Amino acid sequence: MTTVPTPPRVLSIAGTDPTGGAGIQADLKSIAAVGGYGMAVVTALVAQNTRGVRQVHVPPVAFLTQQLDAVSDDVTIDAVKIGMLGNAEIVAAVGEWLGRVRPPVVVLDPVMIATSGDRLLDADAESALCGLLPRAHLITPNLPELAVLVGAPVAEGWAEALDQARAVSERFGVRVLAKGGHLAGPHAPDALVDAASGSTLEFPGTRIETTSTHGTGCSFSSAVATLRASTGDWAVAVAEAKRWLHESIAHGAALQVGGGNGPISHFAGLWERGGLRTAGAPSAEVTAGTPSGTAAS
C-alpha cells in the first residue's frame, strides 16, 4: 500500500462543461472536495448544459500534448483521471504521454455516452479507446458504456452487470468499477471487479429519487482517483467516494441549476460541516474596508 503526502496532486484529462456540473469542472470540484489538489488538461470544448450536448470542438492534438507536457515537466503527479477523449488522435496522444510519464494511479472513465443519452465518440475513437484501457489501473464505465465494451445489450440486472464487468476486466486486463446507478429499483450497488485476482468486492447503496445526476460519473471517478492516491487502497477509495457521492447527490437539487438533469452538490458536506467563513475575527482585522497589514491610499 503506497500513499502520498496530503493533498495528492491529481490531473484531470477531460472535456469541459460550461454549466459546471460535468467534465473538467466537475473533476476539479470532486478532487478538491475529497482532499486533493486538482489540475486540468482540456481535451475538448463542449457546448452543453443540463439538457444535453449541442456541439463539441476538439483543439489540435499538438496543443493537447503541450498541455500534458507542461504539467508533467513541472509537477509531480500522484494520480490521473481520464474522461472524455474527443477522437482517435486524442486517445493516441494521451496513450503516448501515459507511456512516457507512467503516473502511479490512472483511473479512466470511458466517456462514450452522457447521462442525457448523447453518444460522445465516433466509432474510430471508441475503438482507439479500447486500446487505451490496459494502460489504466481502474476503469469506471456506466452500464451503457459497459455494454459497448463487452459488445452486448445493456444489462438489465445487477448479476448481468457483474458478468459483463468480469468479461471486460478479463479482456482488457484492468480493474472495473461496475456501477448500478442506471438499474431500476431502490438499490444502487457498485462493485470492484478484478478478473486477474478473481475478486468481486461489492458496495451496496440506496437510490436517491432525484434528477440531479448530471456529471455523476465524472465526479465519482475523480474522487476515486484522488482517494486511491491518498489512502493507497482501492476498496477504501471506492467506499469513501461512494459515501461522498451519495451525500452530494442528495443535496444537488438545492443548487437549483438548470432545467434538465441538474448537477450534484460537490461541496455539500464541506459547506454543512465546515462552514463558509474563514477562521478568525474579521471585524477585528478590517478597518474601514482595509484588510489588516495593508496601507490605505
| 32-86 pLDDT, tens digit each | 999 999 999 999 999 999 998 899 899 999 999 999 999 999 999 999 999 999 8
C-alpha 120: how far from chain center: 16
Number of separate domains in the chain: 1
Asked whether the beta carbons of 182 and 167 are under 8 A apart, the reply is no
Q: Which positions are annotated as active-site residues?
A: 179, 213, 215-218
* CA nearest to 84, candidates 64, 113, 61: 113
Is 108 among the domain residues? yes
d(CA 244, CA 257): 20
Check residue 279 and give its pLDDT. 80
Is 2 among the domain residues? no
Asked if residue 153 has pLDDT above 90, the reply is yes
Residues 6+ apart with CB under 8 A from 184: none
The pTM score is 0.91
* CA nearest to 40, candidates 20, 62, 68, 7: 68
196 class by beta-carbon count within 10 Å (0-12 exposed, 13-18 middle, 19+ buried):
exposed
Check residue 23 and give its pLDDT. 94
Asked if residue 114 has pLDDT above 70, the reply is no
CA dihedral 285, 269, 113, 50 (to 10 degrees): -60
Q: How confident is the model at residue 277 (pLDDT cuts 50, 70, 90)?
A: confident
Query: What's the mean pLDDT in 254-278?
Result: 93
Is 4 among the domain residues? no
Asked if residue 2 has pLDDT above 90, the reply is no
CATH number for 244: 3.40.1190.20
d(CA 183, CA 155): 8
Asked whether the beta carbons of 158 and 189 are under 8 A apart, the reply is yes
C-alpha 160: how far from chain center: 24
CA dihedral 42, 48, 54, 59 (to 10 degrees): -10
Please say whether the dihedral angle defined by the alpha carbons of residues 29, 177, 100 and 93, taken in this order, is positive or negative.
negative
Is 112 among the domain residues? yes
Rounded-to-5 percentages of helix, strand, coil across the chain: 40, 20, 40
Share of residues in the chain with pLDDT > 90 (%):
80
Q: How confident is the model at residue 3 (pLDDT cuts 50, 70, 90)?
A: low
Is 193 among the domain residues? yes
What does the angle CA 264 – CA 269 – CA 274 come to, to the nearest 5 degrees?
A: 140
Show the domain range for 37.
9-291
Check residue 203 and give its pLDDT. 97
Is 296 among the domain residues? no
Is 297 among the domain residues? no
